A and B are shown apart, each in its own frame.
Chain A
Amino acid sequence: MKLLDISGLSVSFNTLRGPVEVLQDVSFDVMPGEVVGVVGESGSGKSVTSLAIMGLLGHSGKITSGNIALSGTELTTLSEEELRALRGPEMAMIFQEPGTSLNPVQRVGDQIVEAMTEHAFCPPAEARRRAVELMDRVGIPAPDLRARDYPHQLSGGMKQRIMIAIALACRPKLLIADEPTTALDVTIQAQILNLILDLKDEFGMGVMLITHDMGVVAQIADRVVVMYGGQVVERSEGDALFTRSAHPYSRLLLRSIPSASQRQDDLPIIKGTMPAAGRFPDGCRFHERCPMAMAACALSVPPLNEAGPAHFARCFRTEAIDELEALA
């Protein structure tokens, strides 16, 4: 059974100028024990998708259509209290900014303990012992001493390890990692990613890894979802997206990975910027920036077409994708 099954998910936020749709018809799934990479620029809807799954959209955000099923349980119809009970034991999340994601006036050990006691996961004394074990497992030296530290006494990498320990406290089945290494030093980034991968195998979790780093996804993801302008523009299994990418946006993103072996005078860029939610153009949302755009692209939204086995792309010109090299 699918661990996470998102289908046709649309989300709107209420603003002063009325509702703005930030996610449109997003569908993908995560199987137990696999890593699904969700890639895209800032504002593409990656984080909103994860908050929608967690039920943390807040007062102004609303799921307008679609379904989210977690281990077969439909989340969109659950009450706030029912969702709360799932956050922690069923699904957990780690965030981009470890520096600000921990409560500054609570000891880090207590923050891990709280994740367990709030769900009556185990008795408080055992939670305390488990918290130290978890800190040891995520690679914090002298965990019994560090448990009494406050967040400001720890480095960024250590704080992110604490965040991971909090997320894993109740042995969740789904871990959402929202750009977990963006705010960290490069040397620490690899350590944290490897830790997440090791723990995934150990705990048998499914991982939804949100990132804007194609390189990271290429290394560790079993499947890839590329988002642009609140839509899924390409979705594939394994290496297909990297070897035979079928959407111009994904191709251009892949080309923008700097290569150490190849001397480049200029890093390739994608011209223009992604429009803010609510200001997307008609038709394909990428057509204004796309070197391959034709008249039809501005008229109607392309559907997610099959581009290969378990490989879908939202583009009218997938057949001609190889022309991109000549154009850009």
Chain B
Amino acid sequence: MLHYATRRLLGLTLVWAVALIVTFFAVRAVPGDPIMVMLSDHAGDAALEARLRADYGLDRPLPVQFLAYIGDVLNGTFGLSYRYVGSTVIDVIRDGMTITPLLALSALFIAVPLGLFFGVFAAVRAGSWADTGIILLLVTFISIPSFALAALLVWMLSLKLALLPVAGWGSPAQLVLPVTVLVVGPMAVIARLTRTYMLEVLDRDFVRTARAKGVRENRVIWRHALGNTMVPIVTSIGLIFGGLLSGAFVVETVFNIPGLGRIAIDSVLARDYPVTMSIVLLFTVFYSLINLCVDLIYAWLDPRIRFDEAAA
């Protein structure tokens, strides 16, 4: 198990190295000279231009710039922002780095239990009115785009009923709407998957065995049946987490939350490429780490998955 985790971590560093190379060259490949953008009115001031190029290290050959970039990533500054002259990238994104994972993880920790609950609830009542009602609701939740849902909730709960703040960040009340918007879609996806897998598992022989030995129905469902649907569900949770990270882009913009998503969008609009690419890098690392966790959870959920044999 430890052996497997180490092996996977080594594999991940390779993924991260590729991400590092791609982000570096992508910044250099985009059309437009950032120094000319910075100079704007002062264009033609050759002395200032040369000084700026030297400050940003853009006067050196590409391999040297690349090594410097690696150094910047390793020392945690991620280089200099083009937009906020004199600031490093880390200064620009530091506050956002705690906000977005907080949003995504809290949404995940709400969506998973709710999704499992509704999925199981519907599956054990398959074919009934309650089941049909839940399916309809879930399809609605999956179909509605998050920006539309956000607008609807703000209109209803903030404007009409004045229960919650319209936007902003800092108080617990300001967390409610953005997290709700983030939760709804993934929750519905998990619930639908859970229902499907549960219906399949409830027909399996070992569920009949559990009932035949007099196990209480609640335990049959939540322990024996749900326990055997967890591997595919956890797989999809890993994928859904990617959706939560990108969902944060929309939600942070709509609710004016200073998270990585909004900083990313602002930096794209302002052509602050070092910031954009650092955020891409961070999301890559975050997403790959979550999926590593998912793979490690497999072993714990299903004893048939033998990591050490796979490694041999």
Which A residues are within 8 Å of any B CB, using their own CB? 54, 56, 80, 84-89, 92-93, 95, 97, 100-106, 114-115, 118-119, 150, 152, 163, 166-167, 169-170
**A150-B212 in contact given A104-B206, A105-B228 (Cβ < 8 Å):** no
In the bound complex, residues from chain B placing their C-beta under 8 Å from that of A93 are 212
In the bound complex, residues from chain A placing their C-beta under 8 Å from that of B215 are 84, 114-115, 118
* Structural contact, B228 and A56, CB atoms closer than 8 A: no
In the bound complex, residues from chain B placing their C-beta under 8 Å from that of A54 are 212
* Structural contact, B216 and A84, CB atoms closer than 8 A: yes
In the bound complex, residues from chain B placing their C-beta under 8 Å from that of A89 are 214
* A28 and B224 alpha carbons, distance in the complex (Å): 34
Min Cβ gap A56→B in Å is 6
* A8 and B38 alpha carbons, distance in the complex (Å): 93
Could you list some 30 contacts between A and B, CB below 8 A?
Answer: A54-B212, A56-B208, A56-B212, A84-B217, A85-B214, A86-B214, A87-B211, A88-B214, A92-B212, A93-B212, A95-B205, A97-B205, A100-B204, A100-B205, A101-B208, A102-B209, A103-B206, A104-B303, A104-B304, A105-B301, A106-B224, A106-B227, A114-B213, A115-B214, A118-B216, A150-B304, A163-B209, A166-B209, A166-B213, A170-B214
**A95-B210 in contact given A103-B228, A104-B228, A114-B215 (Cβ < 8 Å):** no
4 cross-chain pairs, A with B, having the tightest CB-CB distances, nearest first: A88-B214, A87-B214, A100-B205, A115-B213
In the bound complex, residues from chain B placing their C-beta under 8 Å from that of A105 are 227-228, 301-304
Contact mask B193-235 → A, CB, 8 Å, 1/0? 0000000000011101111111111010000100110000000
* A111 and B224 alpha carbons, distance in the complex (Å): 10
**A118-B205 in contact given A105-B227, A105-B302 (Cβ < 8 Å):** no
* Structural contact, B209 and A118, CB atoms closer than 8 A: no
* Structural contact, A80 and B206, CB atoms closer than 8 A: no
In the bound complex, residues from chain B placing their C-beta under 8 Å from that of A163 are 209
* Structural contact, A102 and B206, CB atoms closer than 8 A: yes
Whose C-beta in chain B lies nearest to the C-beta of A150? B303
* A119 and B206 alpha carbons, distance in the complex (Å): 19
* A134 and B153 alpha carbons, distance in the complex (Å): 60
* Structural contact, B213 and A169, CB atoms closer than 8 A: yes
- Interface range on chain B (Cβ under 8 Å from partner): 20 to 34
In the bound complex, residues from chain B placing their C-beta under 8 Å from that of A101 are 205-206, 208-209
* A92 and B211 alpha carbons, distance in the complex (Å): 10
In the bound complex, residues from chain B placing their C-beta under 8 Å from that of A100 are 204-206
Min Cβ gap A201→B in Å is 22
* Structural contact, A56 and B302, CB atoms closer than 8 A: no
* A80 and B224 alpha carbons, distance in the complex (Å): 19
Whose C-beta in chain A lies nearest to the C-beta of B225? A103
* Structural contact, B219 and A118, CB atoms closer than 8 A: yes
Min Cβ gap A135→B in Å is 15
Min Cβ gap B163→A in Å is 42
* A93 and B211 alpha carbons, distance in the complex (Å): 10
* A81 and B217 alpha carbons, distance in the complex (Å): 9
In the bound complex, residues from chain A placing their C-beta under 8 Å from that of B302 are 104-105
* A93 and B204 alpha carbons, distance in the complex (Å): 16
* A166 and B209 alpha carbons, distance in the complex (Å): 9
In the bound complex, residues from chain B placing their C-beta under 8 Å from that of A169 are 213
Contact mask B59-84 → A, CB, 8 Å, 1/0? 00000000000000000000000000
* A54 and B302 alpha carbons, distance in the complex (Å): 30
Q: Which of B204, B209, B213 has the most CB of A within 10 A?
A: B213
Min Cβ gap A104→B in Å is 6
* A320 and B214 alpha carbons, distance in the complex (Å): 48
In the bound complex, residues from chain A placing their C-beta under 8 Å from that of B219 are 118
* A93 and B205 alpha carbons, distance in the complex (Å): 12
In the bound complex, residues from chain A placing their C-beta under 8 Å from that of B303 are 104-105, 150, 152
* A86 and B213 alpha carbons, distance in the complex (Å): 9
Min Cβ gap B259→A in Å is 38
Min Cβ gap B1→A in Å is 16
* A30 and B209 alpha carbons, distance in the complex (Å): 23
In the bound complex, residues from chain A placing their C-beta under 8 Å from that of B224 are 103, 106
* Structural contact, B213 and A88, CB atoms closer than 8 A: yes
In the bound complex, residues from chain A placing their C-beta under 8 Å from that of B204 are 100
Q: Which of B209, B214, B215 has the most CB of A within 10 A?
A: B214
* A54 and B216 alpha carbons, distance in the complex (Å): 14
Known: A88-B213, A101-B209, A152-B304. 10 other contacts (CB 8 A): A56-B211, A84-B215, A92-B213, A95-B212, A101-B205, A102-B206, A103-B227, A104-B228, A105-B303, A118-B216
Whose C-beta in chain B lies nearest to the C-beta of A149? B303
Whose C-beta in chain A lies nearest to the C-beta of B215? A118
Whose C-beta in chain B lies nearest to the C-beta of A167? B213
Please tell me which one of the listed residues B212, B301, B304 contacts residue A87 in the complex, with CB atoms under 8 A apart.
Answer: B212
Min Cβ gap A196→B in Å is 16
* A140 and B210 alpha carbons, distance in the complex (Å): 21
Whose C-beta in chain B lies nearest to the C-beta of A102? B206
Whose C-beta in chain B lies nearest to the C-beta of A107? B303
Whose C-beta in chain A lies nearest to the C-beta of B230? A105
Whose C-beta in chain A lies nearest to the C-beta of B210? A103
Min Cβ gap A320→B in Å is 43
Min Cβ gap B131→A in Å is 12
In the bound complex, residues from chain B placing their C-beta under 8 Å from that of A103 are 206, 209-210, 224, 227-228
Min Cβ gap B47→A in Å is 71
Min Cβ gap A147→B in Å is 14
Min Cβ gap A19→B in Å is 16
Whose C-beta in chain A lies nearest to the C-beta of B228? A105
* A169 and B213 alpha carbons, distance in the complex (Å): 9
Whose C-beta in chain A lies nearest to the C-beta of B303? A150
* A88 and B209 alpha carbons, distance in the complex (Å): 11
Min Cβ gap A182→B in Å is 13
* A85 and B217 alpha carbons, distance in the complex (Å): 12
Whose C-beta in chain B lies nearest to the C-beta of A88? B214
* A152 and B301 alpha carbons, distance in the complex (Å): 14
* A103 and B229 alpha carbons, distance in the complex (Å): 12
